[in-house]
Amino acid sequence: MGTARGRVAAAAALVALTLPVALAAPAGAATPQAPAICARVQTQYTRIVAANTRAKNAFEKASTLRSQLNRNGRARLGQRLNTRLAYLQSLHAELVARVAAIAARVQGRCPTPPPSLPGF
C-alpha cells in the first residue's frame, strides 16, 4: 500500500509540474502576440503616412516655387529645384516599398489592410 500511495503522489506531483507548461504552449502564446504585432504595424503605418504627407506637401511647395521662378524668368534657379523634386519622389517610392514590405511580413496575422500612399 505504501508504494501505491507513493505512485499516486508522484503522479500528482508530475501533473502539477507539467500542467502549467502545457497551458503555456506556443499555440496559446501566438494568439496574444498578434495584437502586439498589429499595434506596432499600425504605428509604423501611421508614421509612414505622416512622412508621405510631409513629402507630398514639400513636393507641392517646391513645384509651385519652381513654376513661379520659371514664370519670372529665373529658369536656371528653377532647375536647381529639380534635384529636390527628384529626392522627394524617391522618398515616396521608398515609403511605398516599406509599406509593401511590412504588409508582406504580417500578411495573415493582422486584419488591418496597409494604407495606400497616393503619388505626387
Of 51 and 24, the structure prediction assigns the larger pLDDT to: 51
Chain Cα centroid distance, residue 28: 24
70 three-state secondary structure: helix
Sign of CA dihedral 97, 98, 99, 102: positive
Domain ranges of the chain: 32-120
Count CB neighbours of 69 within 10 A.
Answer: 17
Residue 85 confidence (pLDDT) above 70: yes
Q: What is the DSSP string of 2-45?
A: HHHHHHHHHHHHHHHHHHHHHHT-HHHHHHHHHHHHHHHHHHHH
pLDDT surpasses 60 at 15: no
Question: Is the confidence at residue 114, as pLDDT, over 90?
Answer: yes
